Structure 1
């Protein structure tokens, strides 16, 4: 299935005439037409999300509502659709932004705490899924030499983080804001982990990639153990990407960023 264009057959299946435009951000494979957003590789994830989100009552956040085809299916020709949600990315240089993202994530996790574990999680074999299992001791990983020393420092801080449930494991750039509206939580990346792990990923991203102050984890009340495991997860994902032959990865720069973030949390 090509992601370079949105087939007219998909538009027709969802009752949309077009034209379609490619959206910036993410992996660059999402399209918008009329008031719908289309993503490829729907499969079990989108089918499960569509049913699960129907049981969720948003309180303190908004979600992109899944849309079915004219025939009542959630996926057509490998594509799924959701309603367009109003909002834009916030100012990541402001500490208040990180408070707001975490607040939206916490509201979302409270709302989905009753959902059961999706069966399809066990079958996932993408970079992120393998990295996640590795940092929770469910899969072996051999870190590259550039990452080995930082990985040892981070592993020494790992502790239990609470009861697992469905969490959004990639909140950082997937919370949109609009005046007068609750934050919109989009592009749900499901994992079965404690909510503090998802919060740790937000802080890890802020420290590594958005120039957040070293004290951010204290300011937003996310424990060192959560940030340490999240940093391991991001580093393990890069490790998996390189192992799979991905190009354009600056290992030295990433190792430097992870090392600085580890030092920021006292490791």
Structure 2
């Protein structure tokens, strides 16, 4: 049995997917349904899904495969909370340096995009995952971490695990220094989402937008890879040529710690890796 619902018939009809039966993709690195050469997925936020689809529709990045959106018969990218994309083969692999090389190429292409209006919205109840990640992003950059989250009434964890994450967050906040890098549209969740299929070019099926320096998005990949992906500690040094690298690592680690503090489904087992990264970054700064 799958843990996610099957697309309803009216969604299949809207996207013209009535010839092949939907096949669950659970366990393949993607949560969705494959229908012929198309993948249908439930989206957490319709506006973001529509933005991502439009951004990917004509995006070209050298040596990359990109899942292209399929429009419904009436031109919509999202129907009843479902999106459709071309199927791209592959699965996530611990090829961390290659993911960072993807980030470099991708962000050169994304630099031409305007800041999405959806990123200007403040978190508001009832809070969803998008609000949590937006608030965590703000926490890493605002003068007082989590000010926006607290002002919106977003719950902050009071468990021992949550307090430990908050302590690490405050420690790193004290290490921040001003940076003057330009912000642009970046993909803020590349770790575990870049797909590899042997010697084929790496692929992406989504763009999770943030408006930050490109080096920050690369730093998030490094933090994730070190905390949860089994990456070697030399990964930090191998990408130290990126601009304002120590400060980007500080803010990327703060971002992940803030997610841990704010997310109601944060798992205690994910914190030790983050604390270890925070200690490494602190020594680097």
TM-score (norm 2): 0.80
Asked whether the equivalents of residues 59 and 111 of structure 1 are also in contact (C-alpha less than 8 Å), the reply is no
| Whole-angstrom distance in 2 between the partners of 1:254 and 1:46 | 27
Asked whether the equivalents of residues 207 and 214 of structure 1 are also in contact (C-alpha less than 8 Å), the reply is yes
Asked whether the equivalents of residues 214 and 261 of structure 1 are also in contact (C-alpha less than 8 Å), the reply is no
Q: Partner of 2:252 in structure 1?
A: 230
Q: Partner of 2:17 in structure 1?
A: 16
Asked whether the equivalents of residues 157 and 224 of structure 1 are also in contact (C-alpha less than 8 Å), the reply is no
SS in 2 for 1:167: strand
- TM-fit CA distance, 1:100: 0.4
Q: Partner of 1:99 in structure 2?
A: 97
Say if 1:15 and 1:231 are closer, same or farther in 2 by CA, change over 3 A.
same
Structure 1: segments with no counterpart, 5+ residues:
none
Q: Partner of 1:259 in structure 2?
A: 275
Q: Does 1:115 align with 2:113?
A: yes
SS in 2 for 1:237: helix
Asked whether the equivalents of residues 165 and 257 of structure 2 are also in contact (C-alpha less than 8 Å), the reply is yes
When the two chains are superposed, the root-mean-square deviation of aligned CA atoms in Å is 2.5
- TM-fit CA distance, 1:108: 0.7
Say if 1:24 and 1:230 are closer, same or farther in 2 by CA, change over 3 A.
farther
Asked whether the equivalents of residues 165 and 260 of structure 2 are also in contact (C-alpha less than 8 Å), the reply is no
| Whole-angstrom distance in 1 between the partners of 2:29 and 2:118 | 21
Q: Partner of 2:42 in structure 1?
A: 40
Structure 2: segments with no counterpart, 5+ residues:
124-130, 150-155
Say if 1:28 and 1:102 are closer, same or farther in 2 by CA, change over 3 A.
closer
SS in 2 for 1:178: coil
Task: Find the partner of 2:169 among 126, 130, 151.
Answer: 151
- TM-fit CA distance, 1:25: 6.3
Task: Find the partner of 2:210 among 166, 184, 191.
Answer: 191
Q: Partner of 2:133 in structure 1?
A: 128
Asked whether the equivalents of residues 4 and 29 of structure 1 are also in contact (C-alpha less than 8 Å), the reply is no
Asked whether the equivalents of residues 246 and 281 of structure 2 are also in contact (C-alpha less than 8 Å), the reply is yes
| Whole-angstrom distance in 2 between the partners of 1:166 and 1:83 | 23
Deviations 1:47-102 (A, max 9, x none): 22333333422223221101101232212122111101122222x2xxxx211001
| Whole-angstrom distance in 2 between the partners of 1:192 and 1:177 | 26
Q: Partner of 1:7 in structure 2?
A: 8
- TM-fit CA distance, 1:132: 0.7
Asked whether the equivalents of residues 29 and 92 of structure 2 are also in contact (C-alpha less than 8 Å), the reply is no
| Whole-angstrom distance in 2 between the partners of 1:263 and 1:82 | 40
Say if 1:255 and 1:69 are closer, same or farther in 2 by CA, change over 3 A.
closer
TM-score (norm 1): 0.85
- TM-fit CA distance, 1:158: 2.5
Say if 1:23 and 1:129 are closer, same or farther in 2 by CA, change over 3 A.
farther
Deviations 1:123-164 (A, max 9, x none): 364211111111111751567421233223322332426111
Say if 1:21 and 1:158 are closer, same or farther in 2 by CA, change over 3 A.
farther
Q: Partner of 1:220 in structure 2?
A: 239
Runs of 4+ that moved beyond 6 A: 25-28
